Structures are given as structure tokens and as C-alpha cells.
Amino acid sequence: MTPDLLEEGAKRLEKVRQAATEGKTESGGRAAGFSRVAQAGEVDVTHGRILYLEEVSVSFDGFKAINKLSLDIAPGELRCIIGPNGAGKTTMMDIITGKTRPDAGTVFFGSTIDLLRYTEPEIAQLGIGRKFQKPTVFEQLTVFENLELALKTDKGVKPSMFFKLDSSQGDRLGEVLHTIHLADSVGRLAGNLSHGQKQWLEIGMLLMQDPKLLLLDEPVAGMTDEETARTAELFLTLKGKHSLLVVEHDMSFIDTISDIVTVLCDGSVLAQGTLDQVQADERVIEVYLGR
């Protein structure tokens, strides 16, 4: 490589950094999407999409759980997914997080990261957090320890042995504790929390990871009305800074938080639009709401 090419490259890199600091994330401050310098570990959302699924299919013993599913999410969007049981909602999350490998199709995080090439822990470190349908926390550890484990930091073996919580991390932990209303339970074992509190703790663990995209599988199941309202409030604050993909059955909850609702059925998208629009859709009524 000739020196002037190197120089050219350095200039471009500088330009990209500048654009990023000015907060021009959607288009990177450029008119067109070419001659872009990709940076390692950076999620490229210059094309206006943080997650693309295209023609994804997966079958288990001949049963097509996901059938040519295409879906995309914009940065900062809060997308709700509904659908009858067995529509493939959880399987879709399994595919995005690397738990299940699809038989066909592509899954991209931003424009540059092919998620099918990464393992579950790597995908988590890239910035995709996931909450399970059944609240999954470390029951034998305290609330504090649960959050500390989730904290975004070097998660190798040796760094874990010598890990010490610094004061800014401690502050962050304190904030999350407030957000999830568990500040009074720092020292309690997670196994002794109520169902709703476990849900909150798991959401708190996601926040500690500081993910760019959050996948939430039935986040308000088993919560009281008050807890549900607080969760809605929290999700609305997260929207804009994070992208959220929420699978829920609770229609009033969806009504509170959603812009666009996607209806899944038999492993592919049946309808998409505002909640009112999809609720008025004949096909949706037939397969799901009407029953």
C-alpha cells in the first residue's frame, strides 16, 4: 500500500469518528452509503437498520418453526411481536442470540455483523441482551452479585479472577438498582424474590450489560398491574437510546408501549402496523385475536 493511500484511509477514519461524535448516527453524516470505513466491534446503523432478518427458515424434525421470516428493526425502535402459541416468537429470539442455527437465511446486526458467525456469549458481548420467558436469574447469588455478573466488562477467565468493582461501576449498579426498584433488596438471595421482582432483576441484568438491542420475551408475565405500569414506563425511557424487541401477550401493555406491532403466525410475518391496524386485519382476527 502506498503512503498516500494510507493517508487517505486515515483521513476517512478521522471523518467517521468526527461524524460519530457529532451524533450523526443514522447516515454517518454522509449523503450516500459508500466508501465507508468499517470499524471492528462497531454496529453499523448507517443504513437505518440495527437488525435484519431475511428469509430465515428453521425446522425441527420436519416442523417448520420459522418459515422464510423477514423482519427488520430500526435503531431506537420499540417493536412488539405478537402471535399465537407456536408462531415461532421464541425460536426467532433463539436464532438472533445464536442459540439455534437457522437452516437458511441471513441475520445481520447493523450492516456489517453477520450474527450467524458468532456464539451466544459473543453475540451478548456485541450488544444484544435477552430476557427469557421464564425469569432466569442466579438464585443462589444475591441481587447485587447478579447485577455485578451482568456488568459490561472484560468477561474472560483471568479478568474475572481479579475483578474489582470501581466507583463508577458501583454508581451505575446503584442506578440500575433504583430503576428496577430493588434498592432495598441488594443483599437478598435472588431465589427469595417474588416472581415479578425476578423479572425486574433480569431486566436490570440486561441494563447492566448496556446492550444496543434488547430482546424481551414476555417481560410482564406474572407482574402485578402496578409493576406492569412501571415496566411500560421503563421501556418507554429506554426507547430511542436502545432498540427493543418485545414479545408479549398482554394487549393493554402493548397498547401502552407500541408504535409498530408485528404479528407472527406459522413462522412468518402475517401482518405489521399499529395495534389498531393489525387488530382490524381480517387474517389476524382469524388466526389469533378472534379465537
Contact set with other proteins (CB under 8 A): 97, 99, 119-122, 124-125, 129-130, 132, 136-142, 144-145, 148-150, 152, 155-157, 160-163, 165, 170-179, 183, 186-187, 205, 207, 209-210, 237-238, 241-242
> Angle, nearest 10°, between helix axes 225-238 and 195-209?
10
Q: What minimum distance in Å lies between the beta carbon of 159 and other proteins?
A: 9
Q: Are 53 and 71 in contact (CB under 8 A)?
A: yes
Cβ–Cβ under 8 Å, residues 176 and 92: no
Of 175 and 266, CB closest to other proteins: 175
Q: How far is the CB of 264 from other proteins (least distance, A)?
A: 21
**Side-chain half-sphere exposure of 264, counting CA atoms within 13 A:** 29
- Within the chain, residue ranges assigned H as helices are 3-21, 89-96, 120-126, 143-150, 157-161, 167-179, 195-209, 225-238, 251-257, 275-280, 282-284
In angstroms, rounded to a whole number, what is the distance separating the alpha carbons of residues 75 and 90? 21
* 235 or 288: CB nearest other proteins: 235
- Residues 6 or more apart whose CB falls under 8 angstroms from that of 122 comprise 98
The least CB distance from residue 163 to other proteins, in Å, is 4
**Helix axis angle, 167-179 to 143-150, nearest 10°:** 120
Rounded to the nearest whole angstrom, what is the least distance from the CB of residue 101 to other proteins in the complex?
14
Q: Quick one: which of 52, 83, 66, 53 has its CA closest to 248?
A: 83
Which of 132/251 has CB closer to other proteins?
Answer: 132
Residues contacting residue 172 through CB under 8 Å, at least 6 positions apart: 151, 208
Q: In the beta sheet, which residues pair with residue 71?
A: 53
**Residue 158 or 291 having the CB closest to other proteins:** 158
CB nearer to other proteins: give 151 or 264: 151
Residue closer to other proteins (CB basis): 115 or 263: 115
**33 vs 240, which CB is nearer to other proteins?**
240
| Closest separation in Å from C-beta 139 to other proteins | 6
Name the minimum Å distance from CB 277 to other proteins: 30
**Which cell is 259 given?**
408504535
Minimum distance from residue 192 beta carbon to other proteins (Å):
14
Q: Which three cell numbers stand for residue 168?
A: 463508577
